[in-house]
Structure 1
Amino acid sequence: MALTSITIIGGGACGISAFIELFLQLRIADRHRDVQITILEQNPEVGKGLAFGTREPGHILNTQADLMGIHFTEPAHFSEWLIAHEQRVGEEVVDNQGQNEAFTTRRLYGTYLKEQFEYYFELAKTEGMQANVMHATALQVSRSEGKFEIGISENKTLQTDFVILAPGTPVANNYLELEGNPHYFSSPWPSEPILEKIPQEADVAVLGSSLSAIDALMTLVDNEYSGKIRCYALDGLMPRVQPEKQVMVHLKYLTIANLHEIQRTQLRNPTVKEMFRLFIKDAEENEGTAIDWKAAARADKSAQELLDEDIRIAKNGGDVLINIPYSLRYDSSQMWKWLDADEKLKFKKWLGRYWAINRHCMPLYNAERIAELFHQGRLEVVKDLEDVTYDSSRGAFIMQFEKGKQATEQYLINATGPAAQVKAMQSELMQNLHESGVIEADPVGGIKVNTETMQVISGGHVDPHLYAVGHITNGVLLDVNAVWFNVKMIGNLCRHLTAQIIGQAS
């Protein structure tokens, strides 16, 4: 009997989580010998990916350890691994609130991922499953005689029955005209090109002020750069600061039950305005007073003032604007699903940035280091960025901001964050898949998938053998930058795929 072949495109956190869970489910069903799994990964190491392959000590997880387990339904597995390997961990736990709630370096988490993959990869082969890794770049996926044909680097092809798209976090193509400039860096990762090409005493410009920009700042700080750093961004808002002890808030108004009541009584989905009104009621009840929502928009203070204030707030347990989104982490994805597409777009336009800075905060350890840069006069955040060009005659990047102001910069790091829209993804694979109609772009971002099974939808039809997970599903799902959420979706995916295989084999 011919083996059923599965190819996982991407060997980062999502790819290895899918491999491990598929092996476990197939082994328990005693069908693992009927299946061949191939992982396509362009990097030399499987398991780490772009984010967790970093070597920089200042690149820290933005989620505590007890939510970072790579195994389905075991979010605390990473914190348990930390305890079991306490002698190896050392200073890689940088914001320790007790091992279960620690924030660790991303390079340590990459080690954890790599070890988990290697253990289950060898176990799968020992148990009789055919499993292999191909270090190649996937460029295209098409149908060929009832199978998928994957075009890979070096003009090779691979045929397979099932495909799981897990390509990781896509780099944005928002400044393609600057590519090739030796003083321009299209991403903060990997850090090696930055460290090799930017002199330590040079002034550096960073595009963006979000978590990606924080990584760029930490790369420079960790490697003793002495020049000034300017972050240029649209709104100039930095992520807020993780409280030392995150508080779970009791919610009475913004609940799944109340939103379902809207569906049940009005026969429609809730709107963003309705959700925000419920959020306001919960926030003010928990605060015990009315909130100045204009001040909460943070428009009238400098980034330095805001960061100093946020550090103080974090040391006192956070505020409701941080703690309510944190408390909603298990419900927010369902709430997002209940928004119609036009309402999701409204949310992104009206509230998306504020949700992001309050829900995805920076660790206190890094916040205090960034505050020190401000106090030393070495860091500035410039808002209202309008355009970036390169003037070859001056050998400098021209930064235009705040309605006509200009500045020149010699070195520029693009840290605007991952691409949300397919057209903005700097990925030959994603562009080819989109152009050929294998995937369909979602208007909110990423691609269309069935959110229960993670099967790809294109042209109104579900592809029964094509799955996708991770950041490329960022429109139909909300928390795709969170490992715990992706692992949950991967569990659903693997259950569905395993059921298909068992059904075919019976």
Structure 2
Amino acid sequence: MNTHTSDRPPTRIALVGGGAAAVCLLDRLARTPAPGGGSITVFEPSGNLWRGRAYQHDTDAVLANIIPAEMSARAGDPDDFLRWLRESELPYGQGDYAADGHFPPRRVFGGYLERTAENAIATLSLGGRPVDLVRDAVVAAREAGDEVVLTTSDGRRHTFDYVVCAVGAGRPADHYELGGIPGYFGDPYPLRDTVAAVPRTADVTVLGTGLAAVDAVVSLAAHGHRGRITMASRNGALPAVRQRPVFPEVRRFTPAALHAAAARTADGRIALGDVLDLLAAELAAHGADPSLVLAELFSLAGEAPIDRLRRQYADIDAADPGMRIMQHAVPESGPDAWTLMRSEDQEFIRENHYRAVMSLCCPMPPANARKLLALHEEGRLRVLSGLWNVKPLARDGFHVAADGGEYESDVVVNAVSAPSHRVPAQARPFVDSLVEDGIGEYHPHGGLHVEPSTSRAVGAGRAHRRMHAIGDMGAGTLFFTSGMPSVLERADDIVRALVEDLTTGPDATDHPDATDHAAVPTPFQEQPA
């Protein structure tokens, strides 16, 4: 094992992407001593520095879907965002949970991210670790001995000791090849621009029924749109409605319990049935009926979208706490459960329950559910499943075909999920180069293969200690990657891995076994905030 001392060369770290994940990483690094000091370079060519696509400047109708108490960008300090709201004299996160104004607009959270980044940069600079910003895209990467060389779009080369791929999510796929046709909006964001360009009496079809589609509908309504709106997708699966939160002490469905269960098996993996048993035990311990949670999971296929929405909105304060326990426990322990499960069980969930799990894990705020229901009651909104074709008419407008019938629409707003490969088009040359160099490899279900406990990129049968990936780039391996709690946890893992590597050297980390899912304790100590 190598011994690293304080006279080691300065450590050069690159963050490829300057959105919310980069902010979490900067804040974590700012509170972490670095042997030998060093520098950090952030590559971000877009105009949404620190905000990313999710938290860019947009209309106030685009709400965060996570409660403010769970949106901190600072590991170990869950109240940081709430404290910033109070200090900024902003009213969000107060009053009745279900009332309008409790969930902040996403642009407000973007302001918090900017503040957090600025403070982290100041702390790092004062501590002798300057942060440089490069506004050019990274187009290539290659390993050169113990370094990684990045090439930017202007042809310059930059050399680093560690690189984190934090390029964010991709744009919606144009499944029906409508790009460039008048009346078609290929990307709904920023919605302030999209809704301003849609005639207020137009018949609008929103492709997709997920959170982005909900954003589009409520933004159109807030802008004064008066025409009919149709949400259409293959499955018609609306996000669940987030119930009033509870914060139970989770004792049975914990990462430690899941790892212990896996350790007792011959292959170090845990069966789906064992995961469900632990979850059922947790639910029962809090007085919840596990069968009700299972019924909710299966309701997606057998219940009309608006009926399900209406029932879930009425159940915000349901007597049974099962769904609220789930919404608290699954984000915390779900990533460990997923990476410990056997591949056949993972595939079963992907094929049969992916949409239901995503619906329950990424619920909409009650205020948005209320707005959708009001639009439906007014006869201005419908939700269709079985979407199978959209094509332009010879004249203006579009022909839409779904299980509910065929109809014509003046405007189509594309709010479907990002492409399954989850690599933004502008980042494709960079990510392709990682794969070509053997630093990483594409995961068949999205992004890159990563080592679960460290988020190191996996390529050629090993985890590469100098390359990490965060956010949707790890979706194939980790499944749970969206939302600030997940991003924050991955940022914490990455910084811990960097410190471990700097402290113990490559003998302990550059190993051929990239399948060890157990967390590795590290000699890690934070600086006080």
Q: 1:163-196 CA distances to partner (integer Å, 9 max, x unpaired)?
A: 1101112224353732233422232222244134
Letter in 1 for 2:311: E
Letter in 1 for 2:141: V
Identify if the C-alpha distance between structure 1 residues 141 and 254 changes in structure 2 by more than 3 Å, giving closer, same or farther: closer
Q: Residues of 1 paired with 2:481 and 2:103: CA distance?
A: 19
Matched, 1:465 2:466: yes
Aligned residue number for residue 16 of structure 2: 9
Give the 3 Å change call, closer, same or farther, for CA 118–409 of structure 1 in structure 2. same
Paired with 2:255 and 2:145, the residues of 1 have a C-alpha distance of: 49
Which residue matches 2:311? 309
| CA distance 1:66–1:395, shift in 2 (3 Å) | same
* Residue aligning to 2:526: none
Which residue is equivalent to 1:443? 444
Aligned-residue offset at 1:53: 0.9
In the alignment, the residues of structure 2 paired with residue 272 and residue 261 of structure 1 have an alpha-carbon distance, to the nearest angstrom, of: 11
Aligned residue for 1:119, secondary structure, equals helix
Q: Contact 2:176–2:390 (CA<8 Å) still a contact in 1?
A: no
2:352 is aligned to 350
Count of residue correspondences? 495
For residues 162-173 of structure 1, the aligned pairs below 5 Å read: 162-173=162-173
Secondary structure of the structure 2 residue equivalent to 1:476? helix
Residue 453 of structure 2 aligns to a residue whose secondary structure is coil
Distance 1:319 1:390, change over 3 A: farther
Q: Contact between 1:95 and 1:104, CA under 8 Å: does it hold in 2?
A: no
Cα gap change, 1:176 to 1:141, in 2 (>3 Å): farther
Whole-Å Cα distance in 1 between the matches of residues 369 and 427 of structure 2?
A: 32
Return closer, same or farther for 1:462/1:278 CA change in 2, 3 Å cut-off: closer
CA shift, 1:360, in A, is 1.7
Which segments of 5 or more consecutive residues in structure 1 lack a partner in the other structure?
none
Alignment map for 1:319-468 (pairs within 5 Å): 320-391=322-393, 393-402=394-403, 405-422=405-422, 427-428=427-428, 429-434=430-435, 437-468=438-469
Structure 2 distance, partners of 1:165, 1:255, is 26
Alignment of 1:44-123 (within 5 A): 44-85=47-88, 87=89, 89-90=90-91, 92-93=92-93, 96-97=96-97, 103-123=103-123
Note closer, same or farther for the CA distance 1:279–1:199 as it changes in structure 2 (3 Å cut).
same
Larger CA deviation: 270-279 vs 190-199: 270-279
The TM-score with structure 1 as length reference comes to 0.87
Deviations 1:473-506 (A, max 9, x none): 012213211212221221121122234345679x
1:221 counterpart residue number: 221
Residue 138 of structure 1 corresponds to: 138
SS of 1:381's equivalent in the other structure is strand
> Does residue 41 of structure 2 align to residue 38 of structure 1?
yes
Write the mapping of 1:198-277 to structure 2, written as runs, cut at 5 A. Answer: 198-246=198-246, 248=248, 257=257, 260-261=260-261, 263-264=263-264, 267=267, 269-276=269-276
Query: How large is the RMSD of aligned CA atoms in angstroms?
Result: 3.3
Q: Is the 8 A contact 1:65 1:103 kept in 2?
A: yes
Counterparts of 2:239 and 2:333 in 1: how far apart (Å)? 22
How big is the shift at 1:223? 1.4
Distance 1:21 1:299, change over 3 A: closer
Q: CA deviation at 1:45?
A: 4.5
Shift of 1:325: 4.3
Report the Cα distance in structure 1 between the residues aligned to 2:427 and 2:386, rounded to whole angstroms.
28
What fraction of aligned residue pairs are identical, expressed as a percent?
20
Matched AA of 1:74: D
- Give the equivalent residue in structure 2 for 1:484: 485
Alignment check: 8 A CA contact 2:17 2:167 kept? yes
**Farther off after superposition, 144-153 or 108-117:** 144-153
Counterpart of 2:492 in structure 1: which amino acid? G
User: How much does 1:357 deviate?
Assistant: 1.5
Counterpart contact for 1:341–1:443, Cα < 8 Å: no
Select which of 11, 22, 30 maps to 2:29: 22
3-state SS of 1:344 partner:
helix
Report the alpha carbon displacement of residue 456 of structure 1 after superposing the two structures with TM. Answer: 0.7
Report how far residue 416 of structure 1 moved.
1.6
